[in-house]
Amino acid sequence: MAKTPFVTKEKVEEIVKSIPTPFHLYDEKGIRANAQAVKEAFAWNPGFREYFAVKANPNPFLIKILQEYGCGTDCSSLTELMLSKELGFSGEEIMFSSNDTPAEEFVYADEIGATINLDDFTHIQYLEDTIGHIPETISLRYNPGGVYEISNGIMDNPGDAKYGMTKEQLFEGYQILRDKGAKRFGLHAFLVSNTVTNDYYPALAKTLFELVVELKEKTGIEISFINLSGGVGIAYRPDQTPNDIRVIGEGVHRVYDEVLVPAGLTDVAIYTEMGRFMMGPYGALVTKAIHEKHTYKEYIGVDACAVNLMRPAMYGAYHHITVLGKEDAPCDHKYDVTGSLCENNDKFAIDRMLPQVEMGDYLYIHDTGAHGFAMGYNYNGKLKSAEVLLKEDGSYQLIRRAETPKDYFATFDCFDIIKGLV
């Protein structure tokens, strides 16, 4: 089976005349269509907002596209908060969901009016000591522990995750916050990652909806918004069936009517924090074959490496590869597709069946729009690539230049030892 690139070989050949490979390429048309689909899928909930997980792709040009569809930002660090503010997001358009949080990040989040989502019970007092008060609007993160299962099997093991509070801590936490002056409460949970099933969000929603009904009955505290966080994944493999966000949205709607409405909780806002689903399929890493090696295996060396996309090296993640211009050729050659790092795990694919690859061919590595460029680093002194937006009208725009050696050496600019490089 195959996946279809959103760009042709001819267009890539046009782009490389001004922007050399490797580069991450993004599909504006696909991003916009998907953002609209998410908006429509949850239109039944008047308070709905998607908070795009900035960690997935912090490119401001792409975030501005999502902003047009009413998206906010989900931030987990000071710089992500700063970026959100600079892009014109304000107040409750920003969700600050962090863990092991430095004091200065809580201070800044409070200064810009972001909704703070506390990860741990001890953070309640820490936050008050840090900023001098408890915000009127505040959220708490829940971890039910154990193994999380839904109808199609085991999804993940929250009991081993570092995120969130126990149920007992959660209930006590809300009461403490109420006593300290908080007036509007949220509930947040992130239990699993990259699910390819339409059942996850509705199942999670049922868990959280039942929890807030119990909270109301036992403490009188009513939750104003429920944040389903992320976890809605994408079909990295061509034999997987992608999630249908409209089916997912309707599934959450059904559970909302079954659980919350009978309890009198009819105006609870639903929030999501999807990064992978919002951007993943609409990005690709374009790289050129520059070496071939014939030893105990057949290798194709490309001009990208794990600096550009570390998921395969980090935990063996699968990313489909298309050899541009050979989409219909038989995949009758077995290769390891490698980068140039001094690490043997710097491989985009192992024993992958592809058409015969010739030097100069362009390889299109699918689904890098989320956790692709964002996870890059500079090991071996490698430099991060450019990012390019393929516009709806077929033109292209550079949205991040490639790093230069001066960027790499920039943090030595206050010393004389290598002043010729900075």
Three-class SS string for 7-72?
CCHHHHHHHCCCCCCCEEEEEHHHHHHHHHHHHHHCCCCCCCEEEEEHHHCCCHHHHHHHHCCCCE
Q: Give the C-alpha distances (Å, rounded to integers) separating 385 from 50, 58, 272, 307, 350.
A: 29, 14, 30, 9, 23
Binned at pLDDT 50, 70 and 90, residue 156 comes out as: low
What's the confidence (pLDDT) of residue 192? 83
Q: Alpha-carbon distance 408 to 387, whole Å?
A: 17
Tell which CATH architecture fits domain 29-279.
Alpha-Beta Barrel (3.20)
Calculate mean pLDDT across residues 77-81.
Answer: 97
Binned at pLDDT 50, 70 and 90, residue 2 comes out as: confident
Across the chain, mean pLDDT equals 95
Closest by CA position to 275, among listed 90, 78, 66, 93: 66
Residue 70 pLDDT exceeds 70 = yes
Q: Which residues of 266-292 are buried (b: 16+ CB within 10 A; e: fewer)?
A: eebbbbbbbbbbbbbbbbbbbbbbeee
What's the confidence (pLDDT) of residue 253? 98
For helices 60-67 and 28-41, angle between their N-to-C axes, nearest 10 degrees: 40
What's the confidence (pLDDT) of residue 270? 98
Q: For the domain made up of 9-24+281-412, give the CATH fold.
A: Lyase, Ornithine Decarboxylase; Chain A, domain 1 (2.40.37)
What's the confidence (pLDDT) of residue 420? 85
Residue 194 pLDDT exceeds 80 = yes
What do you get for the CA distance between the two ends of the chain, in Å? 49
Q: Alpha-carbon distance 62 to 9, whole Å?
A: 23
What's the confidence (pLDDT) of residue 159? 65
What's the confidence (pLDDT) of residue 317? 96
What's the confidence (pLDDT) of residue 419? 83
User: Minimum mean pLDDT among 141-150, 237-246, 289-298: which range?
Assistant: 141-150
Angle, alpha carbons 213-214-215 (nearest 5°) = 90
Query: What is the Cα gyration radius of the chain?
Result: 23
User: Checking DSSP bridges between strand 49-53 and strand 362-365, what pairing results, if any?
Assistant: unpaired
What's the confidence (pLDDT) of residue 154? 43
Q: Give the C-alpha distances (Å, rounded to integers) separating 200 from 192, 285, 297.
A: 9, 29, 40
Peptide bond into 330 cis (omega under 30): no
User: Is the pTM for the entire model greater than 0.75?
Assistant: yes
Are 112 and 94 within 8 A, CB to CB? Answer: yes
Q: Two tokens at 379?
A: 């090991």
Residue pLDDT, tens place only, 333-373: 999 999 999 999 999 999 999 999 999 999 999 999 999 99
Calculate mean pLDDT across residues 374-396.
Answer: 97
What's the confidence (pLDDT) of residue 262? 97
User: Checking DSSP bridges between strand 298-302 and strand 283-294, what pairing results, if any?
Assistant: antiparallel
DSSP lists the bridge partners of residue 188 as 141, 227
Q: Two tokens at 369?
A: 């729009």
Question: What residue spans define the domains of the chain?
Answer: 9-24+281-412, 29-279
Binned at pLDDT 50, 70 and 90, residue 149 comes out as: low
Q: Two tokens at 230?
A: 């992320």
Residue 391 pLDDT exceeds 70 = yes
Residue pLDDT, tens place only, 16-50: 999 999 999 999 999 999 999 999 999 999 999 99
What's the confidence (pLDDT) of residue 147? 72
Residue 103 pLDDT exceeds 90 = yes
Calculate mean pLDDT across residues 274-303.
Answer: 98
What's the confidence (pLDDT) of residue 150? 62
